């Protein structure tokens, strides 16, 4: 069964919107509510102070997934290293993808950009499991010069996504985030593969984080498997 991790800053107003509840109803969900403990504050002290309120919010999110027809387990963490905690839980729970929550009121249209040498087959298989037999429009966007139209189309067809639109814009590789952000406004969510690190990503931040900030909608990042 396909499984995704939804990390939520549980005490900072971050939540899950209706479109994301609906979209993830076909997969197993792990909701990680986390609170990044300030420096000089012991994690145990923060837990004693905030655990009850944080758990109540997590329970509310779990009910949201159940109401949408899905299934979710929850985990709660008080941590001084949020990124490491998210990475650890992703591996421990064997999640196939991580969701950057954003605002999505519907889940009717998905944009699937291929950039950063992501594994085409892994991403497409994940999208097929996510969509299932629902009437969701899938539009693929080829931005990687190393990935051909034929490779993407063959993967889409093999996964049963033969009605997906496919647009190639390899010339946008140098400004991939801008290309994704321009198109993402017409879609409910973005699903993309985990990019392999490049110098620019180290300098300017993780690619998927930047896409999430630019698009303002949820971004589902499919993990690269070794």
pLDDT digits (tens, 9 = 90+) for 16-47: 999 999 999 999 999 999 999 988 888 889 89
pLDDT of residue 55: 96
Above 50 in pLDDT, residue 146?
yes
User: Which CATH code is given to the segment(s) 3-100?
Assistant: 3.40.50.620
pLDDT of residue 169: 85
Mean pLDDT of all residues in 106-113? 92
Mean pLDDT of all residues in 119-134? 94
Strand order, beta sheet including 165-168 = 71-79, 28-36, 3-9, 97-100, 219-222, 189-193, 109-114, 137-142, 165-168
Q: What is the SS3 string spanning the chain?
A: CCEEEEEEECCCCCCCCHHHHHHHHHCEEEEEEEEECCCCCCHHHHHHHHHHHHHHHHHHHHHHHHHCCCEEEEEEEEECCHHHHHHHHHHHCCCCEEEECCCCCCCCEEEEEECCCCCHHHHHHHHHHHHCCCCCEEEEEECCCCCCHHHHHHHHHHCCCCCCEEEECHHHHHHHHHHHHHHHCCCCEEEEECCCCCHHHHHHCCHHHHHHHHHCCCEEEECCCC
pTM across the whole model: 0.88
Above 90 in pLDDT, residue 149?
yes
Within the chain, which residue ranges are assigned CATH 3.40.50.620?
Answer: 3-100, 109-222
pLDDT of residue 135: 93
Per-residue model confidence as pLDDT tens digits over 67-89: 999 989 999 999 999 989 999 99
User: Which CATH code is given to the segment(s) 109-222?
Assistant: 3.40.50.620
Mean of pLDDT over the chain: 88
């Amino acid at each position: 069964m396909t499984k995704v991790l939804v990390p939520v800053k549980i005490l900072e107003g971050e939540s899950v919107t209706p479109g994301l509840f609906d979209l993830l109803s076909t997969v197993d969900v792990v909701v990680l509510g986390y609170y990044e403990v300030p420096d000089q504050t012991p994690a145990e002290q923060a837990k004693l102070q905030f655990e009850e309120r944080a758990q109540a919010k997590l329970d509310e999110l779990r009910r949201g997934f159940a109401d949408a027809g899905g299934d979710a387990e929850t985990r709660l963490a008080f941590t001084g290293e949020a990124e490491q905690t998210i990475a650890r839980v992703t591996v421990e729970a064997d999640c196939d993808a991580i969701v950057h929550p954003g605002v999505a009121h519907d889940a009717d249209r998905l944009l699937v950009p291929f950039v950063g040498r992501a594994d085409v087959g892994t991403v497409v298989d994940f999208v097929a499991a996510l969509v299932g037999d629902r009437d969701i429009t899938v539009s693929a966007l080829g931005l990687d010069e190393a990935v051909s139209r034929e490779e993407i189309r063959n993967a889409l067809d093999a996964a049963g996504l033969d009605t997906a639109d496919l647009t190639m814009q390899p010339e946008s590789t140098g400004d991939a985030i801008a290309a994704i952000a321009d198109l993402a406004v017409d879609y409910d969510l973005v699903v993309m593969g985990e990019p392999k690190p490049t110098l620019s990503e180290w300098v300017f931040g993780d690619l998927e984080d930047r896409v999430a900030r630019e698009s303002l909608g949820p971004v589902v990042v499919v993990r690269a498997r070794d």
